Amino acid sequence: QKEVEQDPGPLSVPEGAIVSLNCTYSNSAFQYFMWYRQYSRKGPELLMYTYSSGNKEDGRFTAQVDKSSKYISLFIRDSQPSDSATYLCAMSADNYGQNFVFGPGTRLSVLP
């Protein structure tokens, strides 16, 4: 079993839809969780950062962490064509960047 799993997609949704992106992981020591967005031919950019379990909201984006199920989610409300990108989850057991583990990413297309 890979340390972090993520459905690669592609996931296509109509504009305005609610999008749910998910990652599962196997290492129960993970406590730092991030979501990155990567546009084509660009570097990943940080969207959300959460520590331990719970929810975090930022505009149209909500990150959820369920450590008991080893499952994290990113919800995008009122999705826009500009949200079309690859979304990567990342996580770590400590606060040292060299130990971050990335999922393979889910490719999302929001159709106008």
Partner 1 sequence: DTAVSQTPKYLVTQMGNDKSIKCEQNLGHDTMYWYKQDSKKFLKIMFSYNNKELIINETVPNRFSPKSPDKAHLNLHINSLELGDSAVYFCASSQVNSGNTIYFGEGSWLTVV
Identity of the residue, 14 or 43, whose beta carbon is nearer to partner 1 in the bound complex: 43
Check residue 102 for interaction with partner 1 (CB under 8 A): yes
Reading the block at residue 82, the tokens are 């500009």
Identity of the residue, 59 or 97, whose beta carbon is nearer to partner 1 in the bound complex: 97
Q: Whole-number minimum distance, CB 9 to partner 1, in Å?
A: 10
Would you give the binding string for partner 1 spanning residues 13-52, x where CB under 8 A is met?
-------------------x-x-x----xxxxxx--x---
Please count the helices (runs of H) and the strands (runs of E) in the chain.
0, 11
The span from the CA of 32 to the CA of 60, in Å, is 21
Within the chain, what is the greatest distance between any pair of CA atoms? Answer: 41
Nearest to 31 by CA among 103, 99, 86: 99
Check residue 91 for interaction with partner 1 (CB under 8 A): no
Check residue 61 for interaction with partner 1 (CB under 8 A): no
